Amino acid sequence: MLAAVTFASLLVGSEAFAPLSSRPSDFSLAAAKKSAPQEKVLAFGSSRVSVPSDRSEALPFDVPPRNIDPSLPGYAGFDPFGFANAISPSRNGAPDTFKWYRESEIVHGRVAQLAVVGSFFPAFYHFPTNGIYPEGSFSELNQIKALYTVPPEAIGQILVTIAAIEAFRTQRTLIGNKEPGDLGLGQVGGWNPFNFKYTEEEYFEKQVQEIKHGRLAMLGAAGLLFQNANSGVGITEQLGSAFSVPDAREVMTGGPGVLGDYFPPGL
């Protein structure tokens, strides 16, 4: 069951990075968008600052990373640690370094999006134990504690699913000639259940959306785990307490002259 859910969840994201058969190798739309003028104007609140066009869009105090095509979806010139400087071409059948980096970013982004959804999912629904496993095996709201309450068979199912997908994408993309993130599903794949029919411009926009959502989800998933580890309480439990009336309510309803009628009766 978990394997089927995981695979189905990857379907939506896999479409965005599969290459269009009609897409030229030099994507003219993206190149036109990135053909910057002599100066770029960056907005900081109500202020506008002009910076030289040879500066990074994400880090105006730094130069754009070399070895990265600026026409790539989601490109913003962000490479503060200089990973792009170490890019090497394909050797002895191994993928070139950049293709490996790009594939890793897309996959991590997809997994992070699933992780964020999974942080909230048990609060709304959890699989029944049917008397086979101890009660509450699938209802733990603390993500870290859930690793110890979920039955070993469920963990094994997840690991087998991950191994299968990893083996498939390694053969197809990293060793093969497919674009990073291409699982062969969707508009250009053999199975298109959602009947995607994007134009070239719409397709590029979907690529940008996925890479940005994935980056945000990686930050979000890490934040959820850190908060969970620090508090020992699941994210939905923390949100629930945040919306409850604070302890100061007792002070406000302490009697006449102490905001006793601040809250309506019965609230």
Residues 50 and 215 sit within 8 Å (Cβ to Cβ): no
Give residue limits of the domains in the chain. Answer: 2-11+92-241
pLDDT tens digits along 138-160:
888 888 888 888 999 999 999 99
Q: Who wins on pLDDT, 178 or 15?
A: 178
How many whole angstroms separate alpha carbon 37 and alpha carbon 54?
10
- Confidence bin at 85 (pLDDT 50/70/90): confident
- Could you tell me the pTM of the whole model? 0.69
Does pLDDT of 49 surpass 80?
no
Per-residue model confidence (pLDDT) at position 247: 54
Q: Which residue is listed with tokens 């603390």? A: 142
How many whole angstroms separate alpha carbon 1 and alpha carbon 154?
9
Does pLDDT of 255 surpass 70?
no
Per-residue model confidence (pLDDT) at position 63: 82
Question: How wide is the angle at C-alpha 81 spanned by C-alphas 89 and 42, nearest 5°?
Answer: 110
Residues 55 and 63 sit within 8 Å (Cβ to Cβ): yes
H/E segment holding residue 202:
helix 200-231
CATH 1.10.3460.10 for the 2-11+92-241 domain, yes or no: yes
